[in-house]
């Protein structure tokens, strides 16, 4: 076996987005494409000789092939050991857990998160640092710079490594250790939550349904929910990870998790329902015929955190992404702890958690987490909810409505316009920015515009500045309309409109969110000229 330096030429499109580099599978299968990006990672992170790396992914199409390439490149670039999940599987939060537990130099996660899989689907790759969290913008910018100038990549001439049995093998001078992808994560969950109380809840007839959407969290959910907590067999549905996610779209929302939604809104609905996404870091929470918005979920977890053993001593603070509703802010104010508003992207929470400033954090895009890892964590959120339900013994809907009575309700919705022509979507955003002067102070029905801006964030830990994070239209009563181009798609552009209106009057808490937000929705369409500029009359997804 020998190490080869293979000449290559740069690709111009390897700029990492919010969560790494995502493209169609066919793009990653192009000669040198994956290799160029991996070498750019290795050239940017300056890992010491003999360092340990974590490697795994969500099992989507091309996962195994990519892992074999990365292992041979890691060996050629001087790594001493790679911990890889059996079968190439590691959920994103489990990868973060393993990086932190074994204090590795970092890890490479192969996933396109909630995007579709299969030969015609999406693939992704990202680097996580030694804290277990996504690389900072400084690192991702360095990777992009390297990718634009790369001239060669290094590869070990060797056969493939067996991935389906636990144990060690060698690849040149490097050790490859195949680990159980579930064990370390399950042990961490057991250290945080009252498994005995949850077990008793489930043994008492409380029924749950967890939809793994044929994605990575199937084995994790079966081990924890059915085996360790005693939920009946069949409580986890679609639990076998498949390279194409069973032909579905592994995004846990009311549109794509339709099988679970039909069960939870049916005549004999279980007491609690949940779903997670492709790589296991997102979650959707449902009660009987009742949907919990991600923004409300974060606020409710914070308000009830001391019921959970791992958080019994309270929270240092809360962080939420800018588009996420201000429901968590009200809880933080009541608890007399800080609440930070950050750009979208989990890496921004990592700095706050590493500095001990926050304990819980969340994004409206179905992501919630805490300082136990440095990624959002879908199954962790489910267990947090089950722990609260075991302690309070009230239905999901009752707990949420009681929360609204105490803190008020933030009516909230997100409209996703997927696959828009990029130029048209950018035109909407530019039109909005050009309209700031005329919009400020303008009156739209009962809503008066207080301010408009393009959100900018200064990190309170390292002082770094992130500009251009989304257009905000903020009204005098605190209601908001936010426009943002998402960085998670691979085709065209995804434009997201976020709508939020606070309501203190409990008599109006029964309103459907779309009814309560109807006027704001019309204002958003009017001021953005979205229909005229994109030709799109309806959003792809409403959550």
Co-location of 298 and 435 in the same domain:
no
Same domain membership, residue 235 and residue 167: no
- State the pLDDT at residue 287: 98
Q: Are residues 357 and 387 in the same domain?
A: yes
pLDDT, tens digit, 9 for 90 and up, residues 57-72: 999 999 999 999 999 9
CA-atom Rg of the chain in angstroms: 23
Verify that 460 and 487 share a domain, yes or no: yes
Q: How many domains does the chain have?
A: 3
| Helix, coil or strand: residue 406 | helix
- pTM to 2 decimal places: 0.93
Domain end (from 133, 164, 181):
181
Q: How far apart are CA 394 and CA 113, in angstroms?
A: 33
Q: Transcribe 77-143 into DSSP letters.
A: TT--EEEEEEEEE--HHHHHHHHHHTT-SEEEEE--TTS--STTSEEEEEEE-TTSSBPPHHHHHHH
Task: Kindly state whether residues 172 and 196 are assigned to the same domain.
Answer: no
Last residue of a domain, one of 407, 442, 471: 407
d(CA 364, CA 351): 19
Distance CA(253)–CA(283), nearest Å, equals 8
The pLDDT, as a whole number, for residue 487 is 57
User: Of these residues, 19, 113, 295, 528, which one is catalytic?
Assistant: 113
**How deeply is 109 buried, as exposed, middle or buried, from its count of CB atoms within 10 A (0-12, 13-18, 19+)?**
buried
Cβ contact 483:453 at 8 Å: no
The CATH number covering residue 453 comes to 3.30.310.50
Do 163 and 197 lie in one domain? The reply is no
In whole angstroms, what is the distance from residue 132 CA to residue 105 CA? Answer: 9
403 with 413, same domain? no
Do residues 512 and 472 both lie within one domain? yes
Residues 203 and 140 in one domain: no
Q: Which of 163, 181, 199 is the last residue of a domain?
A: 181
Confidence at residue 339, expressed as pLDDT on a 0 to 100 scale = 97
Are 17 and 140 contacting, i.e. CB atoms less than 8 angstroms apart?
no
Q: Spell out, as residue ranges, where the chain has pLDDT lower than 70.
A: 1, 487-491
Residue 458 burial by Cβ neighbours in a 10 Å radius (0-12, 13-18, 19+)? exposed
Domain shared by 231 and 144, yes or no: no
Question: What CATH number is attached to the domain comprising 267?
Answer: 3.40.120.10
Beta bridge partners of 454: 471
**For residue 442, what are the domain limits?**
409-542
Which residue, 496, 417, 488, is CA-closest to 114?
A: 488
Provide the pLDDT for residue 268: 94
Q: Are 317 and 461 in the same domain?
A: no
Question: 393 in the Ramachandran plot: left (φ > 0), alpha (ψ -120 to 50) or beta?
Answer: left
What does each C-alpha distance from 275 to 233, 252, 261, 286, 356 come to in angstroms? 17, 5, 10, 9, 30
Q: Which residues contact 205 (CB under 8 A, 6 or more apart)?
A: none
Q: Where are the alpha helices (DSSP H) in 160-246?
A: 183-192, 195-203, 217-221
CA distance 153 to 534: 41
Q: Which H or E element spans position 481?
A: strand 480-485
Q: Is 456 a catalytic residue?
A: no
Distance CA 476, CA 450 (A): 5
CA distance linking residue 107 with residue 38, whole number of Å: 12
Distances in whole angstroms, Cα of residue 462 to Cα of each of 145, 320, 465: 22, 18, 9
Q: Do 237 and 220 reside in the same domain of the chain?
A: yes
């Amino acid at each position: 076996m020998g190490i080869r330096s293979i000449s290559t030429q740069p690709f111009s499109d390897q700029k990492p987005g919010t969560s790494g580099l995502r493209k169609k599978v066919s793009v990653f299968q192009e000669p040198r494409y994956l290799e160029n990006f991996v070498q750019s990672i290795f050239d940017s992170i300056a890992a010491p000789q003999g360092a340990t790396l974590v490697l795994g992914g969500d099992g989507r199409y091309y996962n195994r092939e990519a892992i074999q390439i990365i292992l041979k490149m890691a060996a050629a670039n001087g790594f001493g050991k790679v911990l890889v999940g059996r079968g190439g599987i590691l959920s994103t939060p489990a990868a973060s857990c393993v990086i932190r537990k074994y204090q590795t130099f970092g890890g490479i996660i192969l996933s396109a998160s909630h995007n579709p899989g299969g030969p015609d689907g999406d693939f992704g790759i990202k680097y996580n640092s030694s804290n277990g969290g996504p690389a900072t913008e400084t690192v991702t910018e360095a990777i992009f710079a390297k990718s634009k100038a790369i001239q060669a990549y290094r590869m070990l001439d060797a056969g493939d490594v067996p991935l389906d049995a636990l144990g060690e093998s060698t690849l040149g001078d490097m050790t490859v250790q195949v680990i159980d992808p579930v064990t370390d994560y399950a042990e961490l969950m057991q250290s945080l939550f009252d498994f005995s109380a949850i077990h008793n809840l489930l043994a008492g007839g409380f029924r749950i349904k967890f939809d793994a959407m044929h994605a990575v969290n199937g084995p994790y959910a079966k081990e924890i929910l059915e085996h360790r907590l005693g939920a009946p067999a069949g409580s986890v549905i679609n639990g076998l990870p498949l390279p194409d996610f069973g032909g579905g779209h592994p995004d846990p929302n009311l549109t794509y998790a339709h099988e679970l939604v039909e069960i939870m809104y049916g005549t004999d609905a279980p007491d609690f329902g949940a779903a997670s996404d492709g790589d296991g870091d997102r979650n959707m929470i449902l009660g009987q015929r009742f949907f919990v918005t991600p923004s409300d979920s974060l606020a409710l977890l914070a308000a009830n955190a001391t019921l959970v053993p791992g958080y019994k001593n309270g929270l240092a603070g809360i962080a939420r992404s800018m588009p996420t509703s201000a429901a968590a802010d009200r809880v933080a104010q009541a608890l007399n702890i800080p609440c930070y508003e950050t750009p979208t992207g989990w890496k921004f929470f990592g700095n706050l958690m590493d500095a001990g400033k926050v304990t819980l954090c969340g994004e409206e895009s179905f992501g919630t987490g805490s300082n136990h890892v440095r990624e959002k964590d879908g199954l962790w959120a489910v267990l947090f909810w089950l722990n609260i339900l075991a302690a309070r013994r009230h239905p999901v809907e009752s707990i949420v409505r009681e929360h609204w009575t105490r803190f008020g309700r933030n009516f909230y919705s997100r409209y996703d316009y997927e696959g828009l022509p990029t130029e048209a979507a950018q035109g909407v955003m530019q039109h909005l920015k050009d309209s700031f002067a005329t919009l400020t102070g303008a009156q739209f029905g009962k809503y008066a515009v207080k301010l408009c801006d393009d959100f900018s964030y200064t990190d309170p830990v390292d002082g770094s500045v992130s500009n251009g994070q989304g257009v905000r239209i903020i009204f005098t009563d605190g209601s908001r309309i936010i426009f943002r181009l998402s960085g998670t798609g691979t085709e065209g552009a995804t434009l997201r409109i976020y709508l939020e209106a606070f309501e203190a009057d409990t008599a109006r808490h029964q309103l459907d969110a779309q009814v309560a937000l109807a006027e704001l929705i019309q204002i958003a369409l009017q001021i953005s000229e979205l229909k005229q500029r994109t030709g799109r009359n309806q959003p792809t997804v409403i959550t």
